[in-house]
């Protein structure tokens, strides 16, 4: 019996991390690596569930601990974002589109990171490079991941390569990208059904900014006003989370995808508050700084925080 | 005026690191990135000089400090092996075939690592993926790098992809790979002209094994007996180097490419000696352990050391 190789995305799984695991496991299987198994680091969110249902796929198994297991990491390359004990497992590949983190290995592995809008774009090109046909459902979920991560091409992380991939994938899956993308965003931003904790943890990642321990989450909505009634409860959950996890700060991006702006909620200690204000060139008012033209955590929130805390 | 982007390999440059810098800078230039400049982290060795002369190319400029500079790292991805102050520079790409090290970036970059025998193999495939024709001299130096890093295909690091690349590159450059490879090895293993320090530092890299600071070098010869007269002087240089750089241990692989075996010279403290013996399942005798079928630092020496020192 051969040992499974789990293809898994980051904690607080979003659409790109879940669909990339499914599509990459499919590619590996087509290449003869039958032991590749798609996994997710937690339960899938509303948007991902909508997409998987639409293309007739089941949610992948949940994997929360990698100790003693072979894993392929997709859509992340930082220990703090990975399933527990990832360094006590055996990381055999990494496919990602983020900044280069702190994963180290004892031997050479395939590690491919590319500055494009979604991991789905990279995996679509890996099908092509390996001469493997993309099944219809795989095309559908990769197209969805690219539309989700780039907020329908509006995010500054979006590249020509992402647009070209969506164009090709939409032909295979037979869906109109913009029409399907709007339905997807509606499924995602069904705020009323969500608790303050769901809103905070729906897309939450940990970072280490030169020793400052931080959590940075994001929620995308069609209208920021929908969140106003829950604002106090969300700040309360942020404080509880920072205490429980001994974090110096938590930032939650409340992103208005129609206005293309984000209200950056902040909780944290005084030193972190100073760094946060430095990063975004403003003063905290009512626990937040509002930024126009701010959609991307990866490109517009993490780099200024990295710089502001650099020693 | 646009800012240069230096394409540079590791310290103690070997053939793959120097030729990869030259070939990748050529590919970038052909793709319109005219500011790409090939560099080397030091003077080129005898083997590399022989190859560059043969294909009519000059040695690249020497770059020793990356502070404030844009750099593309080839053939390495560890800070300890890179030019000085690489983390005070701006790492814009990485192309490598080693284990994943400790490079971190503030934003997403192109980072491609693949478990093949040489960086030259990867760069040859990047020409192809980008639809760029490989110039004759570039084909010649990439072929040489693959033959050098895989010790004419004998190293266990060698893959089918390396052999296929050499086959393709030899057609472009018009050289018989095995014939040219033997001439190259002869140029490399001209031991008599080298000092004990040259022998130690010719291909020397630093590693951190769970806190144990180590240097691991390698020299390839046609006959180990050629090194016997210099053995005491080499051990002396290893001790001096360990003291000067505050290293816990230094290993120097004296590799007999004809017998496909290595005599692993060791100097270091007692704890490191215990780890070294554990790693190679033997007892130090006359400052070394002799290993049959041992040619590759990356695949046969670093992984057992990583494991032996793992806490």
Which of A126, A157, A187 is the endpoint of a domain?
A187
Probe site for chain B from A32, A111, A131 (most B CB atoms < 10 A): A111
Question: Which residues of chain B neighbour A94 with C-beta distances below 8 Å?
Answer: 100
Q: Which of A10, A294, A12, A20 is nearest to A157 (CA)?
A: A294
Kindly state whether residues A246 and A156 are assigned to the same domain.
no
Q: Is the pLDDT of residue B1 over 70?
A: no
- Looking at the structure, tell me whether residues B9 and B151 fall in a common domain: yes
> In this complex, do A100 and B105 lie within 8 Å of one another by their Cβ atoms?
yes
Q: Are B231 and B191 in contact (CB under 8 A)?
A: no
By percentage, how much of chain B surpasses pLDDT 70?
100
Query: Other C-beta atoms within 10 Å of B150: how many?
Result: 26
In A121-210 the beta strands, taken as DSSP E runs, fall at: 204-209
Nearest residue of B to residue A87 by CA position? B310
Q: Quick one: average pLDDT of B177-201?
A: 87
- The enclosing domain of B119 has a CATH number of 3.90.1640.10
Across the interface, of B97, B129, B306, the residue whose CB is closest to A106 is B306
The torsion defined by the Cα of A75, B209, B250 and B271, in degrees rounded to 10, comes to -170
Residues of B at the A interface (Cβ-Cβ below 8 Å)? 91, 94, 97-115, 129, 157, 298-299, 302-303, 306-307
On the question of pLDDT at A180 being above 60, the answer is yes
**Chain A residues within an 8 Å CB radius of B99:** 104-109
What is the C-alpha to C-alpha distance for residues A260 and A274, in angstroms, rounded to an integer? 25
Nearest CB to A100 within list B98, B109, B298: B109
Q: Using 50, 70 and 90 to split pLDDT, how confident is the model at B30?
A: very high
HSE-CB at B59 with a 13 A cutoff on CA atoms is 17
Contacts of A199 by beta carbon, 8 Å cutoff, 6+ apart = A191, A219, A227, A230, A234, A237, A252
**B38 and B164 share one domain:** yes
Same domain, residue pair A53 and A177? yes
Please judge whether A107 and B99 are an interchain contact, meaning their C-beta atoms are less than 8 angstroms apart: yes
A interface test, pick of B31, B90, B108, B159 with most A CB neighbours within 10 Å: B108
DSSP H or E segment with residue A124: helix A119-129
Distance from CA of B302 to the nearest CA of A (A): 8
Report yes or no: A250 and A214 within 8 Å, Cβ to Cβ. Answer: yes
Say if residue A271's pLDDT is above 90: yes
Residues B124, B173, single domain; the answer is yes
Which residue, of A138, A160, A187, is where some domain finishes? A187
Residues contacting B53, CB < 8 A, separation 6+: none
Quote the percentage of chain A above a pLDDT of 90.
88
ipTM score over 0.90, yes or no: no
B70 and B202 in a single domain? The answer is: no
Q: Which residue of B has its CA nearest to A303?
A: B106
Task: Please give the average per-residue pLDDT across B35-49, as a whole number.
Answer: 95
Mind giving me the DSSP string for chain B? -PPPEEEE--SS--HHHHHHHHHHHHHHHHTT-TTEEEEESS---HHHHHHHHHTT-PPPEE--B-TT-EEEEES---GGGSSBTGGGSEEEEEEE-SB--S---SSB-EEEE--SS-HHHHHHHHHHHTT-PPPHHHHHHHHHHHHHHTTTTTSTT--HHHHHHHHHHHHHHT--HHHHHHHHHHHHT--TT--HHHHHHTTEEEEEETTEEEEEEEEEES-GGGGGGGHHHHHHHHHHHHHHTT-SEEEEEEEETTTTEEEEEEEE-HHHHHHHHHHHTS--BTTEEEEET---IIIIIHHHHHHHH--
CB contact under 8 A, B302 and A113: no
Q: Give pLDDT, residue A289.
A: 97
B224 HSE (CA, 13 A, CB side) = 18
| Shared domain check, B238 and B96 | no
Considering only CB atoms, which chain A residues are within 8 Å of B94?
Answer: 100
Q: Is the pLDDT of residue B185 over 90?
A: no
Interface test with B, best of A98, A100, A303 (most B CBs within 10 A): A100
How would you label B255-283 residue by residue, b for 16+ Cβ within 10 Å and e otherwise? bbbeeebbbbbbbbeeebbebbeebbeee
Say which CATH number the domain at B251 has.
3.10.310.20
- The per-residue pLDDT for range A116-171, each reduced to its tens digit, is 999 999 999 999 999 999 999 999 999 999 999 999 999 999 999 999 999 999 99
Contacts of B299 in chain A (CB under 8 A): 107-108
| Local confidence band at A293 (pLDDT 50, 70, 90 cut-offs) | very high
**Could you tell me which of B73, B39, B78 has the C-alpha nearest to residue B58?**
B39
Extract the tokens encoding B2.
Answer: 């646009």
Closest chain B C-alpha to A54 CA, distance in angstroms: 31
Per the CB < 8 A criterion, the answer to whether B59 and B44 are in contact is yes
Nearest by CB: A107 against B102, B108, B303: B303
Token representation of residue A48: 């991902």
Average pLDDT of the residues of chain B: 95
- Per-residue pLDDT at B42 exceeds 90: yes
Question: A100 and B115 in contact by Cβ < 8 A?
Answer: no
HSE, side-chain direction, 13 A CA sphere, residue A27:
25
Sign of the torsion angle spanned by Cα atoms A23, A28, A29, A34: negative
Interchain contact, A104 vs B106, CB within 8 Å: no
Q: A117 with B108: CB under 8 angstroms? A: no
Q: How far is B206 from chain A (nearest CA, A)?
A: 14
Using the predicted structure, report yes or no on whether residue B190 has a pLDDT greater than 80.
no
What is the tens place of the pLDDT at every residue in A20-70? 999 999 999 999 999 999 999 999 998 999 999 999 999 999 999 999 999
Domain total in chain B: 2
Closest Cα to residue B290, out of B198, B227, B212, B214? B227
Are A183 and A200 part of one and the same domain? no
pTM of the model: 0.79
Partner-chain contact A109 B129, CB within 8 Å = no
What is the pLDDT, as a whole number, of residue B222? Answer: 81
In this prediction, residue A190 has a pLDDT band, given cuts at 50, 70 and 90, of confident
Cβ contact B298–A108 (<8 Å): yes
B105–A103 C-beta distance less than 8 A: no
Percent of chain A with pLDDT over 70: 100
pLDDT tens digits, one per residue of B226-262: 899 899 999 999 999 999 999 999 999 999 988 899 9
> Chain A residues with CB inside 8 Å of B75's CB?
none
Is residue B73 within 8 A of residue B103, CB to CB? The reply is yes
* Statement to judge: residues A183 and A224 lie in one domain: no
Rounded Cα–Cα distance for residues A193 and A230 (Å): 12
**Structural domain harbouring A232:** 196-309
Q: Do B112 and A113 touch (CB under 8 A)?
A: yes
Does residue B141 share a domain with residue B202? no
pLDDT (0 to 100) of residue B128: 95
Which candidate, A64, A116, A105, A26, places its Cα nearest to that of B307? A105
Listed residues A137, A170, A187: the one ending a domain? A187
Confidence (pLDDT) at A188: 78
Domain match, B139 and B237 both: no
Say how far apart CA B239 and CA B235 lie, in whole Å.
6
Mark whether A90 and A216 lie in a shared domain. Answer: no
CB contact under 8 A, A115 and B113: no
Q: Which residues of A touch B307 (CB under 8 A)?
A: 106
Query: Position of tokens 């032991």?
Result: A35
A104, A113, A303 member nearest B109 (Cβ): A113
Interface probe with A: pick from B71, B98, B111, B301, most Cβ of A within 10 Å = B111
* pLDDT level of residue A192 (50, 70, 90 thresholds): confident
pLDDT in tens, B93-148: 999 999 999 999 999 999 999 999 999 999 999 999 999 999 999 999 999 999 99
pLDDT of residue A223: 83
Q: How far apart, in whole angstroms, are the C-alpha atoms of residue A202 and residue A208?
A: 20
Nearest CA in chain B to A128: B129
Which chain B residues have a beta carbon less than 8 Å from that of A298? 107-108
């Amino acid at each position: 019996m051969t040992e499974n190789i789990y293809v898994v995305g980051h904690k607080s799984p979003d659409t790109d991390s879940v669909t990339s695991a499914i599509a990459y496991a499919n590619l590996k299987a087509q290449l003869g690596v039958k032991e590749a198994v798609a996994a997710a680091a937690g339960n899938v969110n509303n948007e991902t569930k909508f997409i998987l249902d639409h293309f007739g796929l089941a949610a992948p198994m949940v994997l929360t601990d990698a100790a003693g297991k072979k894993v392929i990491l997709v859509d992340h390359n930082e220990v703090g974002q990975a399933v527990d004990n990832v360094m006590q497992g055996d990381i055999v590949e990494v496919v990602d589109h983020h900044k280069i983190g702190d994963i180290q290995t004892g031997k050479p592995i395939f590690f491919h990171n590319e500055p494009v809008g979604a991991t789905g774009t990279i995996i679509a090109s890996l099908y092509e490079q390996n001469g493997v046909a993309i099944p219809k459902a795989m095309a559908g979920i990769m197209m969805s991941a690219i539309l989700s991560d780039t907020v329908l091409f509006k995010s500054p992380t979006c590249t020509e390569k992402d647009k070209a991939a969506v164009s090709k994938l939409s032909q295979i899956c037979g869906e109109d990208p913009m029409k399907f993308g709007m339905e997807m965003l509606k499924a995602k931003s069904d705020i009323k059904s969500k608790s303050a904790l769901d809103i905070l943890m729906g897309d939450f990642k940990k970072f280490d900014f030169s020793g400052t321990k931080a959590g940075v989450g994001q929620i995308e909505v069609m209208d920021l006003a929908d969140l106003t009634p829950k604002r106090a409860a969300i700040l309360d959950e942020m404080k509880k989370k920072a205490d429980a996890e001994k974090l110096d700060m938590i930032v939650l991006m409340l992103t208005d995808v129609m206005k293309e702006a984000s209200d950056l909620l902040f909780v944290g200690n005084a030193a972190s508050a100073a760094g946060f204000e430095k990063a975004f060139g403003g003063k905290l008012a009512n626990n937040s700084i509002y930024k126009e033209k701010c959609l991307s955590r990866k490109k517009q929130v993490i780099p200024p925080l990295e710089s502001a805390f650099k020693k």
